[in-house]
């Protein structure tokens, strides 16, 4: 990285259709690809990626999808989201830390039904 770069973090979320391997991998794949596209973010600029799932998703690790799309050198962490009564079900969230130009504006990425999680962020839609 150069002196013109700094560290950023970008967030995003998607909802899996069901608690099965294919649905979790599809939602995580779509979320990470879209997050990378919106931020023009190649894997080599990524520092780390934290992936969370709501308690009702346990059929597969979303990191499997990340590895499949080329994030094999990026440190990944899968963890559980807090259980909050009435919160959206089957949600996969991501937070990616990365290097970008100083004037970069992170494009947070909330897909499908997960858009309502951050409707306050116009850039996330």
Tens of pLDDT along 24-74? Answer: 999 999 999 999 999 999 999 999 999 999 999 999 999 999 999 999 999
Q: Residue 123: which pLDDT band, with cuts at 50, 70 and 90?
A: low
Whether 122 has a pLDDT exceeding 70, the answer reads: no
State if pTM tops 0.85. Answer: yes
6: number of Cβ within 10 Å: 13
Residue indicated by tokens 């997050």: 35
Q: Residue 4: which pLDDT band, with cuts at 50, 70 and 90?
A: confident
Whether 121 has a pLDDT exceeding 80, the answer reads: no
What's the CA gap between 88 and 43, in Å, rounded? Answer: 29
Q: Which pLDDT does position 56 carry in this prediction?
A: 97
- Backbone phi, psi, residue 117, to 5°: -65, -30
Nearest Cα residue to 95 out of 8, 18, 9, 7? 9
> Which residue intervals of 1-125 are DSSP H helices?
21-38, 63-68
Q: Which pLDDT does position 3 carry in this prediction?
A: 73
Q: Which pLDDT does position 118 carry in this prediction?
A: 75
Percentage of residues in the chain having pLDDT higher than 70: 94
Nearest Cα residue to 79 out of 98, 66, 63? 63
> Fold for domain 5-118?
60s Ribosomal Protein L30; Chain: A; (3.30.1330)
What is the DSSP pairing of strand 109-110 with strand 5-15? parallel
């Amino acid at each position: 990285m150069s002196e013109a770069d700094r560290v950023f973090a970008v967030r995003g979320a998607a909802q899996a259709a069901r608690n099965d391997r294919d649905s979790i991998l599809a939602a995580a794949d779509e979320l990470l690809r879209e997050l990378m596209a919106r931020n023009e973010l190649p894997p080599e600029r990524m520092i780390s990626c934290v992936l969370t799932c709501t308690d009702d998703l346990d059929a597969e690790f979303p990191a499997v999808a990340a590895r499949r799309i080329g994030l094999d050198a990026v440190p990944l962490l899968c963890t559980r989201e807090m259980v909050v009564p009435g919160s959206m079900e089957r949600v996969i969230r991501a937070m990616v830390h990365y290097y970008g130009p100083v004037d970069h504006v992170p494009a947070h990425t909330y897909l499908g039904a997960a858009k309502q999680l951050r409707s306050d962020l116009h850039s996330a839609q």
